[in-house]
Structure 1
Amino acid sequence: MDARAMTQPPERPERPECAERSESSEAPEAPREQTLQVGDVTLAYRLLGRGSRALVCIHGVGSYQEAWDDVAAALADDFRILTFDLRGHGRSSRVKGRYEIDDFVTDVLALADHVGFTTFDLAGFSLGGLIAQRLALLHPSRLRRLVLLATVSGRTREERERVLARLAALQSGERGAHYDASLSRWLTEDFQAKHPARIAYLRERNAQNDPDCYASAYRVLAETDFGGFIDQIRMPTLIVTGEDDQGSNPRMARFMHECIVGSQLAILPGMRHSILVEASGQVADLMRNFLAGDGENAGASEGAGSGA
């Protein structure tokens, strides 16, 4: 990879209390953030939880590793959880230039190797779900179970045109306005009205994004689709999305469910895109129940809490 200009990542703002967390969950110990150099990129990561089973979690575009904190807290007793900031995000290097999905896959595997995760469960949200799909297709022997949250596959022509139009607007227009409009689509009006501090925090975190890095990552999301290959995924897979998610919609979730033999599907009623924020307890419960299994998929099902 050619050397690329970088900017210094900003300090992380304080995050308000999560809006939804299982009553029985306890916050994991406050871990020390660490870094790993992968080529010309410094990746910020943490190890959370007290369990023995390895789990790697990948966030989405414009987000950061703390997006997983509520889920990680609920899973802390059973899992050792690796979270990290994607290149160009959070406290990882703000690398300028074109990103490719295989850059992200390389980063994930380098981190997993570094912390001693020879095989692991893998969960990806949105762009993280695309990265997880790619890793599952290229390196299936590294994974035990796969969790795809609010991600995409098998876009229709109309869906491709819509996301590419957003990409074009992002590349030529006001990028902060793009995120603010997206945030309104990603969370229900009820959640936005009831949790103004959380919304303010999300907007503050967005303001810290590097616009060029955001656009580079969004291009990967907009232009990547493994719909023609996803039926080659063979490990046990859980697919979850919100009933009212416009971008990672239930049609695509059902397409993945039909293509991946024996996969499990859950559609969360009334939820939009940001299920890690608004439905972290439901997501954690689904993940815990699914990841507790061993061996092959038990059979196709549309999980508890699914919509029509």
Structure 2
Amino acid sequence: MAYASINSIKLHYRVDGVKPDAPWLVLSNSLGSDVGMWAPQVQAFAEHFRVLRYDTRGHGRSDAPQGPYTIEQLTGDVIGLMDHLGIARANFLGLSMGGLTGVSLGARHADRFERIVLSNTAAKIGTPEIWLPRAAKAREEGLAAMADAVLARWLTPQTVANAPFAHAALRDTLVHTDREGYAANCEAINTADLREEARTIKAPVLVIAGKHDMSTPPMLGADLAASIAGAKFIEFADASHLSNIEVAGQYTRTVLDFLLGS
């Protein structure tokens, strides 16, 4: 396992891909998941890119310092990790919280990114009435107390029935997420309003939504795409929030088509 000391914390990361001259692709996980959420895509992505996955602070094997966190910290961790690995420019794919991080990166660090995929996300996600009670519950009761409610918003009932192993694996990751790390990231999402900054993004952008996504409904994705000049928008009919898992093959092909310019 690889770790990097970034911004006074330890970040866990993985690199896949054997072509030393291939372009870089950074993958950023959703709230309550870790690097494993990208397992359906990694092999295909690594055929074309050097793929950098990392556990967002507070998640997986990365440190979970006392919160609250901020979008500036989440953004700074990505830039710090890229600097640590000597990555001057990269492509970026983030889902949900990772997509919010991608909006910030595209707006504030335009010189570091070639193409950006913003998946199942928005420039402003939710309200204090959602995030502050969730943060409090995570700290007081832990993630097991809220796992079933969260997972019901991540996957369609059809996916739960047809892919029980995926559901179980996601639940296992969620319930073992550090309660302070989860809560502190809820607070980062709560205070992040990037709607004006999104309008300044110049890189080519693809926005992905799931038709049945209750956490970041398709309308929010369409609004995000409309605010970014030249952005493309696609909605997957059979997906909820974790569209990269529910329609994995279609998702992978769509992202590669965009990143490779076809």
CA distance in 2, matches of 1:154, 1:87: 20
In the other structure, the counterpart of 1:121 is: 91
Superimposed CA distance per residue, residues 12-40 of structure 1 (whole angstroms, 9 cap, x where no aligned partner): xxxxxxxxxxxxxxxxxxxxx21101132
Match of 1:248 in 2: 216
Q: Which amino acid aligns with 1:228?
A: E
After TM superposition, give the deviation of residue 61 of structure 1 in Å: 0.9
Judge conservation of contact 1:50–1:78 (CA < 8 Å) in 2. Answer: no
Per-residue deviation, 1:147: 0.5
Give runs of aligned pairs for residues 96-111 of structure 1, distance below 5 A: 96-111=66-81
- In 2: Cα distance, 1:282 partner to 1:191 partner: 15
**Equivalents in 1 of 2:83, 2:8: separation in Å?**
18
Aligned residue for 1:42?
10
Runs of 4+ in 1 over 3 A off after TM superposition: 172-175
Q: Please point out which of 203, 228, 238 is paired with 2:171.
A: 203
Residue number among 65, 78, 84 corresponding to 2:35 in the alignment? 65
Deviation at 1:242, TM superposition (A): 0.2
Under a length normalisation based on structure 1, what TM-score does the superposition of the two structures give?
0.79
> What is the rounded CA distance, in whole Å, between the counterparts of 1:89 and 1:236 in structure 2?
29
Partner of 1:160: 127
1:20-39 matches, cutoff 5 A: 33-39=1-7
Q: Matched residue of 2:118: which SS?
A: strand
The residue that corresponds to 2:207 in the other structure is 239
Paired position in structure 2 for 1:275: 243
User: Per-residue deviation at 1:169?
Assistant: 4.1
- 5+ unaligned residues in a row in structure 2: which ranges? none
**Matched ranges for 1:116-265 at <5 A:** 116-153=86-123, 160=127, 164-172=129-137, 174=141, 175-265=143-233
Q: Which moved more, 1:61-70 or 1:142-151?
A: 61-70
Q: Does 1:89 align with 2:56?
A: no
Aligned Cα root-mean-square deviation (Å)? 1.7
Distance between the aligned counterparts of 2:76 and 2:134, measured in 1?
A: 29
Shift of 1:289: 0.5
For this pair of structures, how many residues does the alignment match? Answer: 257
Structure 1 or 2, whichever has the larger Rg, is 1
Measure, in 2, the Cα distance between the counterparts of 1:94 and 1:231.
Answer: 32
Aligned equivalents of 1:111, 1:217: Cα separation in 2: 18
SS of 2:25's partner is strand
Higher relative helix content: 2
Residue segments in structure 1 that go unaligned for 5+ positions in a row: 1-32, 295-308
